[in-house]
Structure 1
Amino acid sequence: MPRLHSLELVPDDAGQEAVRAQWRALSEAGLPSQLDHRGSTNVPHVSVVEAPALPEAALDVAHARLGSLLPVTALVDGVLLLGNGRVTLARPVQLADDVVRRVLAVRVQVPERRHLGWVPHVTLARRLERADVPRALEVLDELDAGRHRGLELRLTGLRRWDPDAGQVHEL
């Protein structure tokens, strides 16, 4: 499988720290966590689109439609399990309809995108054994105990990950 280029919405420092706290809690419980990914470009984010290549038209639309809208507030609440066998543990991200429309305007510019639909989320762990899911949910429940509603994330940045160059470019 080719390495995938991506466009990502990135939270402000407070939002990144809130997500990293969840990564740390999973890691401290001996579970897989995005904290295990030691790359310098690994930051909490919401992927807009992933593909073997990103056409210039997609970058132009992203800059015009999403970049001009930032910052936006998102609600992170609940839990998602994605995949088969070992799963990806993630938090679903709720966004205003206008943001979703703008993301879809970007996605249609990328015909070879990895996923046909869009499930906005923040990844907490990859390759989690199904047998470890109950323990991971307990860890997250402890973190959520004091909240009446989900975590608000302020998405302030739009970036492009270029795996071929090993670089992140802010848009």
Structure 2
Amino acid sequence: MRSIELVLTPDADLAVRAAWDALTLADLPSLGRSGTNDPHVTVVAGDGVTVPDTIATPPVQLRLGGVLLFPAGPGRSVLARAVVVGPALAAFHAAVHRAARGTVDTSAPGAWSPHVTFARRVRDVDLGPAVAALRSAPLPDRLGVAGVRHWDGETKTVTRLA
């Protein structure tokens, strides 16, 4: 899978990593355990997403919404926080979607659910403790954006775009 992602400012990155650490300390699934993941917000994804010739100017900040759960198999969920789609983010997303090829349907305008992921495959019985752990490392209402990157999951290659 390949993707175009928003990367966070150092302060925002540290805040997300603190949330990952809180889950790890509670002995719960966490993206902090992977060792190779960086906090980000995926803008578009798909097997054929290539590095675009040009990239739109990203928003300066992202406003966070509530806790999200995405299905991750029987009795399991992905635990995330929503990113609110305001006018600047919607315009950026639409421009990136137009420039990118080979995206999955969930990357399309109107179907995209931007989010910051904390953990994958959290068991249903652990959702309450996971949310409680996240409360111990609260995120700010807004996260700063430091730039845009292209991620190639097959080759584990990052290309900085903006």
Q: Same fold (TM over 0.5)?
A: yes
- Name the structure with the higher strand share: 2
1:159 is aligned to 2:149:
yes
For 2:103 and 2:50, the matched residues in 1 are separated by 10
1:82 is aligned to 2:70:
yes
In 2 relative to 1, CA 96–60 (structure 1 residues): closer, same or farther, beyond 3 Å? farther
SS at match of 2:96: helix
Percent identity (aligned): 34
TM-score (norm 2): 0.86
Contact 2:41 2:116 (C-alpha < 8 Å) held by counterparts = yes
Q: 2:95 aligns with which of 95, 105, 109?
A: 105
RMSD over aligned Cα atoms: 1.9
* 1:99-119 CA distance string (max 9 Å, x none): 212202322443542524111
**1:1-171 to 2 correspondence within 5 Å?**
4-39=1-36, 42-55=37-50, 59-60=52-53, 63=55, 65=56, 68-70=57-59, 72-83=60-71, 84-85=73-74, 86-108=76-98, 109-113=100-104, 115=106, 116=108, 117-144=111-138, 150-171=140-161
**Poorly superposed stretches of 4+, deviation over 6 Å:** none
The runs of 5 or more residues in structure 1 that have no matched partner are: none
The runs of 5 or more residues in structure 2 that have no matched partner are: none
Contact 2:58 2:147 (C-alpha < 8 Å) held by counterparts = no
Give the counterpart letter for 2:87 in structure 1: D
